[in-house]
Structure formats: structure tokens, C-alpha cells
A and B are shown apart, each in its own frame.
Chain A
Amino acid sequence: MLSSDAVSDEPLRNRAAAADARPMSRAKKSGLVLVILFILLLAIFLWSFTVGRYAVPLPELLTVFFRKMFGLSATWSDTLETVLFNIRIPRIIVALIIGAALSVSGAAYQGLFRNPMVSPDILGASAGAGFGAAMALLYSAGSLTIQLVAFVFGIIAVTLTYLISRLIAKGNNSVLVLVLTGIVVTSLFSAFISLAKYTADPNNKLPEISFWLMGGLASITAKNVSLVLIPFVIGIIPMLLLRYKLNALSFGEEEAQSLGLDTKKIRFIYILCATLITASAVATGGMIGWVGLVIPHLARMLVGPNYKYMLPASVLLGGAYLLLIDDLSRTIFAVEIPLSILTAIIGAPFFIYLLFKGRDAWT
């Protein structure tokens, strides 16, 4: 037994020696990846203006930005001004935020619930927001009202999950009870959505609700920005500040406590913030799946599981990814393709690829 142990140790030691010989530490490498991701995000951001309807060439775009920044007079048409500031920029910002919001929430939840298969809709935020939107659409509300009602119902659904699970667990906060309650609440609100659809007028309301749920940013204008931007900023700051502590939570409740963490407090803060940004994201863009599941895995693959790097990487990748998807959605065909269709068509095979690459860890 001793000899077999010694033998099995040998290759490990050699591997360690090879690792020591690497010129760059893991931290430095992860930092570099973050810089590259930021540059990538910036490139996709600028490229997004140059494609689709009302495409603005890059030199002209930079002129506009430059002259605006220094308060110089406009050298461009009013149409361009309107398109750029009322439609294009809001849509790009919203796409970035939704992508970042869904993936950062997914990343946080995967650690919080110690499960790499978790996505941000696990506690009911998405189904709740979907139901809110369906109701608002049923009553022919305007786009801002739809966004607001959906946001509120997203929050209500998660609050319900949280309260019921606290009742069941009687103070012993059990992650399993929370997740199971989330599944129940999600399916309840999904049934409500079906009910709303069932009662909707099949000639106009039903397709409206269906299209809204599939996700899309075609109707986004400047007035929709604040209701997604403000919750995002409020929610993401604590998530980023506390991110190192998420590492300990992924080792489980008791271990995290023994390491000195007030787990109840940290978990509450993360659920609150993730709910805030997920509900506002879904309320603005519809039920867009896959982003919150796939992007954290990609981030983990690029910078490792340490949340110090992994969470910022998820923010940058998520933003870039959804912006790219939205660019595709408005350029591939004359008619816009709903976002959830594209995220699934691209996300599903990509996830299979990730599973193949990481299969040693899964099997």
C-alpha cells in the first residue's frame, strides 16, 4: 500500500514542478484574461453600431461621441441623433446589462447553492416577471408599465419562495428547501402565465404575450433604460464587493461558518441583489434562458473557479454575449428573431461542448 502510494504520488509531484516552472502566476493570468474580455466587450460594443438598420459607420460614431463629450455643435442629422440616442444606444446598453445581470446572478447562485446546474431563474424571478408582463399585456399596458409590473412580480415570486422556505426550514436555513421551494413557485407562476395566455384574445393578445415571453429588445427606447440600469447598479455593487466570500459558501453552510463567515447574512444579500437584477432584466428583455447557465461555466473555464476573477469575468462575458446575440437577432433576417430562441440554439450546443471539455469533472 505504501509503495503504491509512493508511485501514485510521483506523477503528481512532477506536475507540480511543471506548474512552478510556469512564468506567470494564475492570478496574473486571470487578470490578463479580464483585460482581454474588457477589450472584447468594447469591440463588440462599437461594432454593434455599425450593423443592422440605421447602421452608423465607426468614424461618424466616434465623431458624435467626441463632439457630444465636449459639448460641440452637432454636425450630423436629427434623424441620426434620434436613432442613436433614443434607440440604438438604449438598446445596446440594455442588452449589455441584461447579459451581465443574468450571468452574474447565475454565477453567484451556482456558488450559493453549490450546484453548477443552477441558473438565475431558480428562485422564481423569471417566471414571476413573466407572469407580471403577461398580466400587463392582457390589460394593454404601455411598455414602461409592462416593465414595472413584471419587475414587481419577479420580486414578489422570489419573496414568496424565500418566506415559504423559511417557514418550512424553521430558521435552519436549508439550501435544499430554498431551491425546492423555488422550483414549486416557478411552476406555480408558469401555470399562471399559461392561464393568462389561455384567457387572452387569440387574435392579438395571445401572440403579444407569446412574443414578449420569447424575449426581445426591439421595443426598447431611452425611457426603458432607467428601470433596468438602476436596479443593476444597486444590485451588482454588493455582489462584486463581497465576491471573494462566495468561494467559502460553495463549500457548504457549516464549513463557511467555521471559516468565519456569517452565512445567513451573505446569502441573504446575494439573493436580494441577484433577484433585483434578474427581475429587472427579465422585465425588460423577456424570459431569456441559457445565458445565466452557460456564461458562468465559460468564465470558470477561462479564469478558474475563484470568484475574485470569475464574477467579473461573468459580468464582462455575459454583457458581450447578449449584445452579440442581440446584434445577430436584428441582422440575420429582415424580421427580428426572439432572443430566447437564439440563446438556446447557440447556448445548447455550446454547453455540450463545455461538458465534453470538462467531462473529467462530471463523470
Chain B
Amino acid sequence: MDMILEIKDASFGYSQKTVLRNISFNVGAGELLCLLGPNGVGKTTLFKSILGFIAIKGGEITLDGQNIKKWSKSRLAKAVGYVPQAHTTPFPYTVLDVVLMGRIAHLGPFSSPSRDDVKIAEESLERLGVSFLKDMTYTEISGGERQMALIARALTQKPQILILDEPTSNLDYGNQVRVLLQIKKLSEEGIGVIMTSHFPNHAFLCSSKVVLLNKNGFKIGKADDIITETNMRDTYGINVRITRLADNHGAEIKSCVPLAN
């Protein structure tokens, strides 16, 4: 269960253009890493490279010390689960159908999911507390529910690492928080999580490790150390104030508040 994903001195980019250079960090079991950075800095390029959609241009990516470059898609899918932004499909699949597709990496080339696979898919929905979605039509549920269904699908792959692409985009305020708390819970249960976000507060909420990407390179550290007023100005070009307040149980939470002037 203690799988570690390591990015070692890697460069990322498309055919001609290198977007990110000399990136190194790692994510272990139970860790939550939040990828912050402005539009176009290469967050998407980075996680697409980890998922093997794009070949890396230098360095290496290893899982438990093994270079994943030559791994088959199904071997990678058993280790790393991907949660895309909530979307719709052209066809009206049921939520269970969608979640069951997470078993594909575990199936033989000619087989379709068995009763046991259905059980695993149902467990994933239950784990997220959304079993009631099971028989609903994926194209007719809300954005937040679709995001939950996609997380359930990734869990059904039984991965040790979960990669989420802006899991809160297009969600209302309540659903954003609900989805984030769910993700935090998963990482506490032992899954290594990498997610991209546009909101520094999401990193505070999940008390995660942060990789901050900007034009000066990258910084890695605890949310408290990385999300500072200076770093936010350098990264996003805006002035913010970091405030502290206490929640109902007296625990301190931080918040990043943008300033109007």
C-alpha cells in the first residue's frame, strides 16, 4: 500500500516546446499534494505526463522506484487513477455503468465486468456516500454528483495514487467543499492524492503539501510555508492577505483573501 510516486528532475512539454524544467517532488501514501499556479503555467501538462498521455522530455517518473515509462496502460491504471473535470458523455450511461468502467484495467481483453466487479464499484460509491446515484443516468445528475461518480470510478481502479484535475471546477460553493472534504478523507485513508486547483484556500482546507508553479520555477512545501502573501503576488500578480481564524472546535484555519487595492 505504501507506494511512492517520484518525479525526478523531470521536464515536461509538447513536441517542440518544453513547458516545465527540472521538476522534482514526490507523493507517498496518504499524502495530499495541491498543484497551484496561474493558467498556462503547465499544471495540466505535468499531470498528463504522469498519466502517460504525454511523453516526458527529461528526467524520470517512478512508482516505488520503477520507471513508469515502459509500463502498459493497464499496469499504470491499476496504480494511478485519474479523475477528469466533471463532463457529460454523448450517451446516457447509468452511474453504475460509468463507475464500473474503472474495472477495465483489471479485466481480460475480451471480458466484461463480473458480479465481483459490480460489488467493487458499489463499494466505491458507498465509500463516497453517494450510493443513491447508482441507477441514475449520468447525463442527468448535477455537476457535483458527476464529479463524485468520476471519483468513484477512479477508486474502482483500486489505485494507490489519485490524480484529480480541478475537482472543484464548475461546482457550487457547497459542493466544492463537500468534494474537497471527501478527497481529504481518501488521502487520510492511505491514498496518495495529487490535485490541481485555482484556490489557495483549498490547500489550506485540506492541509496539504503544495507545489507552486510560476514563471520563476517551482516551490514545494507545506501549505503554510508556500501560500504566503509574497508568493501569491509573484505567482498570480495580485495582492492578498493571509488571515487566521479559529473553527468551532478552536482549531486554527488560514484563509487567503484577495485585496481590492
| A residues neighboring B (CB under 8 Å) | 1-2, 5, 8, 12-13, 15-16, 19-20, 26, 110-111, 114-116, 170, 241-245, 247-248, 250-251, 254-255, 257-263, 300, 304-306, 308, 360-361
Contacts and interface: CB of A to CB of B under 8 A. Distances in A.
Interface in B219-238: none
Given A8-B142, A244-B107, A257 B73 contact: yes
Contacts of A257: 51-53, 73
A250 B93 CA distance: 11
A213 to B, nearest CB: 31
Interface stretch (B98-106, B202-210, B250-258): B98-106
A1 to B, nearest CB: 5
A37 B104 CA distance: 28
Contacts of B40: none
B93 A247 contact: yes
B170 to A, nearest CB: 14
Contact of A305 (B91, B111, B173): B91
B168 to A, nearest CB: 14
A197 to B, nearest CB: 36
A259 B156 CA distance: 10
A5 B141 CA distance: 12
A12 B132 contact: yes
A361 B139 contact: yes
A251 B153 CA distance: 12
B135 to A, nearest CB: 4
Main secondary structure of the interface of A (DSSP, over half): helix
Contacts of B132: 12-13, 16
A122 to B, nearest CB: 15
Kindly list the 9 A-B residue pairs having the minimum CB-CB distance in the complex, ordered from nearest: A260-B105, A260-B77, A258-B82, A305-B91, A244-B112, A260-B74, A19-B135, A241-B110, A16-B132
5 contacts: A19-B136, A243-B112, A250-B91, A254-B82, A257-B73
B76 interface: yes
B100 to A, nearest CB: 9
B136 A250 contact: no
A170 B15 CA distance: 10
A157 B46 CA distance: 39
Contacts of B77: 258-260
B142 A247 contact: no
Contacts of A243: 112
Interface in B44-77: 48, 51-53, 72-77
Contacts of A13: 132
A13 B135 CA distance: 10
B152 to A, nearest CB: 13
A9 to B, nearest CB: 8
Nearest to A117: B90
Contacts of B51: 254, 257-258
Interface string B79-91: 0111010000111
Contacts of A361: 92, 139
Given A1-B172, A12-B132, A247-B97, A260 B104 contact: yes
A250 B142 contact: no
Contacts of B82: 254-255, 258
Contact of A259 (B139, B140, B157): B157
Contacts of B157: 259-260
A20 B131 CA distance: 11
A305 B104 contact: no
A182 B1 CA distance: 47
B135 A247 contact: no
A15 B136 contact: yes
A255 B153 CA distance: 11
Given A254-B48, A260-B106, 8 more contacts: A16-B133, A251-B89, A254-B84, A257-B53, A259-B157, A260-B73, A260-B74, A308-B112
